[in-house]
């Protein structure tokens, strides 16, 4: 998988220009480059494969048919696509009338040598999913982007429209909240 930093933006720029000129092969390449990432992101938020597939298809279709709205002025194409996916997820829940955004029914925890992640690995997925539901939407989003999507703080910041420092602070608060929720569950 291609990194989402500056290199991704540089690699996308010629394809974006080709798509703007009507090149369907370039559109297919961009679609294939981002579809799995967007599907995984949306699935982590929704927990239902059918909904995630529909929203990922919708996100990619919107991003490619509305390239005239994308301005390559310091914002990577990948960040723009993630923003569309985030907004589509919010719209989906508004239409459904649901307040909880992340069921995470079959999300898997990445294996890591980091002690905090190893501790999370030892939790059952049900405990983790339930604990994540207690977090705010932004806290859920930052943890999904950072740990499930394996993005850097800078990449998550671009996607969320925040500074790197704000994302790091949000991540810190989210992990603290997650720890408190999990600790409360083990003491009950």
Contacts made by residues 176-183, CB under 8 angstroms, sequence distance 24+? 177/134, 177/135, 177/139, 178/131, 178/132, 178/135, 178/139, 178/143, 181/131, 181/134, 181/135, 182/123, 182/127, 182/128, 182/131
pLDDT attached to residue 47: 75
pLDDT digits (tens, 9 = 90+) for 42-92: 888 777 788 888 999 999 989 988 888 887 666 788 888 998 998 888 888
pLDDT attached to residue 126: 62
Asked if residue 50 is part of any domain, the answer here is yes
Percent of the chain at pLDDT > 70 equals: 74
> Which residues does the chain have with pLDDT short of 70?
1-10, 72-74, 97-126, 185-188
Q: Cα(29)–Cα(95) distance, rounded to whole angstroms?
A: 31
The residue among 61, 107, 121, 123 whose CA lies nearest residue 88 is 61
Residues with Cβ within 8 Å of 117's Cβ and at least 6 positions away in sequence, in order, are: 109, 110, 111, 147
Asked if residue 105 is part of any domain, the answer here is no
Domain that includes residue 157, residue range: 115-186
pLDDT attached to residue 108: 47
Query: Do 132 and 161 have their domain in common?
Result: yes
Query: Do 121 and 60 have their domain in common?
Result: no
Residue 139 belongs to a domain with what CATH number?
1.10.10.10
pLDDT attached to residue 110: 43
The pair phi, psi for residue 38, each rounded to 5°, is -70, -40
Half-sphere exposure of 36 (CA within 13 A, CB side): 5
Residue 54 belongs to a domain with what CATH number?
1.10.1740.10
Q: Cα(149)–Cα(151) distance, rounded to whole angstroms?
A: 6
pLDDT attached to residue 97: 63
List C-alpha distances in Å: 135 to 96, 124, 132, 138, 170. Answer: 20, 18, 5, 8, 11
The residue among 35, 66, 33, 77 whose CA lies nearest residue 52 is 35
Query: Do 134 and 56 have their domain in common?
Result: no
Helices (H), 21-152: 24-46, 49-65, 77-96, 115-121, 125-133, 137-143
pLDDT attached to residue 3: 45
């Amino acid at each position: 998988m291609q990194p989402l930093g500056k290199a991704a933006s540089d690699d996308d720029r010629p394809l974006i220009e080709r798509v703007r000129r009507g090149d369907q092969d370039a559109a297919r390449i961009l679609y294939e480059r981002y579809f799995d990432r967007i599907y995984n992101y949306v699935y982590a938020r929704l927990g239902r494969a059918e909904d995630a597939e529909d929203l990922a298809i919708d996100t990619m279709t919107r991003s490619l048919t509305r390239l005239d709205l994308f301005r390559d002025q310091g914002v990577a194409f990948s960040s723009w696509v993630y923003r569309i996916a985030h907004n589509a997820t919010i719209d989906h829940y508004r239409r459904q009338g649901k307040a909880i955004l992340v069921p995470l029914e079959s999300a898997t925890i990445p294996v890591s040598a980091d002690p905090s992640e190893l501790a999370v690995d030892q939790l059952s997925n049900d405990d983790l999913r339930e604990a994540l539901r207690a977090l705010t939407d932004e806290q859920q989003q930052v943890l999904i982007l950072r740990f499930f999507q394996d993005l850097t703080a800078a990449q998550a910041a671009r996607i969320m429209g925040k500074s790197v420092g704000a994302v790091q602070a949000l991540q810190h608060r989210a992990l603290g909240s997650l720890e408190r929720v999990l600790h409360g569950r083990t003491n009950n």
